[in-house]
């Protein structure tokens, strides 16, 4: 097996290079109980760069020219370590499909270290698919090309949509064989986030009755990421209230855009309110409130319409883990704020999707009835909302383009008349509203069939579709010449693709 070398690279240009990236690992300063120190296991074959993200590179002030250097693929493909990196696998536990699992942890990912940009922002660099760790259980510690492409592209999609997410710096491939349902090639992905601490990181110390470790973790997270609470008397309860707010707003954004996570276990919930751990996710094609994107979710626990409730359920698990640190009533008050926060954020975003500026009591019913029309017709969620921008408030307008999406045209006509009256009541102008609506209703989303097309091409070492989708998804609201086909409904083979946790 190849050995990971600590290398000092030769500086080749001015500015922030691979050599001048300053690495640290504040998580490694925590007690040993929080992690296991372990180096990445290099591929047995030479790693090669599949794609690199200049937007993420900019977050750590890395010059884009560095992304094409051979040393870049070595450093972020598990073959080399830079000075200051202290690789470790993070410990956590979690509730998986509602059942508590006492120990999980990074089974195929390794926290390389942190780097700070010139603005003072810290970013964790987390290498996924980096090989065995003490928390791998029965796994091999590897990731496959298929799953890393899906995560890489969805990070770009969420970033383009403005939804809080982990970032993906790069995708590194290999010719190593990895065994899943079939033989596939291995790949590694560098995930970036200010922190990779999860709800389950708190749970493991609570259930082990290691309350001092729990306090150490909470103090660390507050000091690093909630610094406004450092010297507050009830800082733990207020920290929890902040997490509740971030989580409620995050899930409201998922619901508004029509995106399902698929595996909302507590170990997949970010303490910072970021979208974390892209497995069997799915953007909605035909609208179905009960959409299940994970074919392993036989009971629909993580169906699309269950996500708001599961967010609350997961927060209740976090609240329980914080009981040794905060008053029960204060934590309960934090939980009780979740639903109003979610409702407020969701309603705000849905009003924006409909082009409504003022909030009116009848808006909820108007929106709910439209969603019922979508459900009854299995109309395409993204396309129909995009076409809302074309809606005319002229008296004799039939809005035929939208009307064609609905099976019950009479019911649509009734709804359209109410919508027209509602728009007129606030003096909405069609041309101005279209510009506003098009800025919140994307033309392009990462449909499963688009990701699958990129995967199949990449398996022949044609990475052009990854690059094309990466560029497209960073600007999903604009009309992009020559890309109209990417805004069409999926072909028949692309509907209902089976996606599992191994994806």
Contact 445, 157 (CB under 8 A): yes
Is residue 477 in a domain?
no
Coil, strand or helix: which one is 434?
helix
- Dihedral of CA atoms 345, 154, 464, 294 in degrees, nearest 10, equals -120
322 and 338, same domain (yes or no):
yes
215 and 123, same domain (yes or no):
no
70 and 191, same domain (yes or no):
yes
Q: Which of 106, 267, 380, 438 is catalytic?
A: 267
Structural domain of 71: 5-196
The predicted structure's pLDDT at residue 3: 55
Is residue 110 in a domain?
yes
From 407, 438, 469, the end of a domain falls on 438
Nearby residues of 246 by Cβ (< 8 Å), 6 or more positions away: 164, 272, 273
212 and 328, same domain (yes or no):
yes
SS (H, E, C) 174-210: EEEEEECCCEEEEEEEEEEECCCCEHHHHHHHHHCCC
The predicted structure's pLDDT at residue 494: 86
The predicted structure's pLDDT at residue 66: 94
Contact 110, 135 (CB under 8 A): no
366 and 430, same domain (yes or no):
yes
Domain count, the chain: 3
267 is catalytic: yes
- Which residues in the chain show pLDDT less than 70? 1-15, 500-503
pLDDT digits (tens, 9 = 90+) for 234-260: 999 999 999 999 999 999 999 999 999
The predicted structure's pLDDT at residue 12: 38
128 and 78, same domain (yes or no):
yes
Is residue 248 in a domain?
yes
The predicted structure's pLDDT at residue 397: 87
The predicted structure's pLDDT at residue 480: 94
Is residue 462 in a domain?
no
């Amino acid at each position: 097996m190849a050995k990971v070398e600590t290398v000092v690279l030769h500086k080749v240009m001015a500015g922030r290079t691979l050599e001048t990236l300053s690495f640290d690992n504040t998580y490694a300063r925590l007690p040993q109980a929080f992690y296991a120190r372990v180096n990445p296991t290099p591929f047995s074959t030479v790693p090669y760069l599949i794609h690199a993200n200049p937007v993420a590179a900019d977050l750590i002030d890395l010059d884009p020219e560095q992304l094409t250097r051979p040393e870049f693929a070595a450093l972020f493909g598990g073959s080399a370590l830079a000075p200051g990196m202290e690789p470790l696998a993070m410990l956590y536990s979690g509730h998986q499909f509602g059942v508590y699992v006492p120990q999980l942890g990074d089974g195929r990912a390794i926290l390389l270290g942190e780097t700070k940009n010139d603005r003072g922002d810290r970013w964790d660099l987390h290498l996924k698919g980096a090989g065995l760790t003490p928390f791998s259980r029965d796994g091999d510690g590897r990731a496959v090309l298929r799953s890393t492409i899906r995560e890489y592209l969805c990070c770009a999609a969420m970033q383009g949509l403005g939804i809080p997410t982990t970032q993906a710096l790069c995708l590194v491939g290999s010719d190593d064989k990895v065994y899943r349902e079939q033989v596939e090639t291995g790949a590694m992905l560098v995930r970036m986030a200010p922190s990779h601490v999860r709800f389950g990181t708190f749970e493991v110390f609570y259930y082990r009755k290691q309350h001092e470790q729990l306090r150490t973790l909470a103090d660390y997270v507050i000091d690093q990421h909630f610094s406004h609470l450092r010297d507050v008397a009830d800082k733990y309860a207020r920290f929890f209230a902040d997490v509740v707010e971030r989580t409620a707003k995050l899930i409201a954004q998922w619901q508004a855009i029509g995106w399902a996570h698929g595996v909302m276990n507590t170990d997949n919930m970010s303490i910072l309110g970021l979208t974390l751990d892209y497995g069997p996710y799915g953007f909605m094609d035909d609208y179905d409130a009960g959409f299940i994107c994970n074919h392993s979710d036989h009971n629909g626990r993580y169906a699309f319409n269950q996500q708001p409730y599961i967010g609350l359920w997961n927060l209740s698990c976090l609240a329980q883990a914080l009981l040794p640190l905060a008053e029960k009533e204060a934590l309960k008050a934090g939980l009780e704020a979740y639903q109003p926060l979610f409702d407020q954020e969701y309603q705000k975003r849905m009003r924006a999707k409909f082009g409504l500026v003022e909030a009116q009591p009848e808006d909820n019913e108007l929106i709910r009835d439209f969603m019922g029309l979508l459900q009854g017709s299995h109309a395409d969620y993204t396309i129909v909302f995009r076409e809302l921008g074309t809606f005319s408030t002229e008296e004799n307008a039939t809005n035929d383009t939208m009307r064609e999406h609905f099976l019950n045209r009479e019911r649509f006509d009734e709804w359209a008349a109410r919508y027209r009256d509602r728009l007129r009541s606030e003096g909405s102008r069609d041309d101005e509203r279209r510009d506003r609506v098009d800025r919140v209703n994307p033309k392009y989303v990462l449909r499963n069939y688009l990701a699958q097309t990129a995967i199949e091409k990449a398996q022949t070492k044609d990475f052009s579709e990854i690059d094309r989708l990466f560029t497209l998804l960073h600007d999903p609201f604009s009309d992009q010449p020559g890309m109209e086909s990417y805004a069409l409904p999926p072909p028949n083979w692309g509907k209902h693709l089976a996606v599992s946790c191994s994806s």
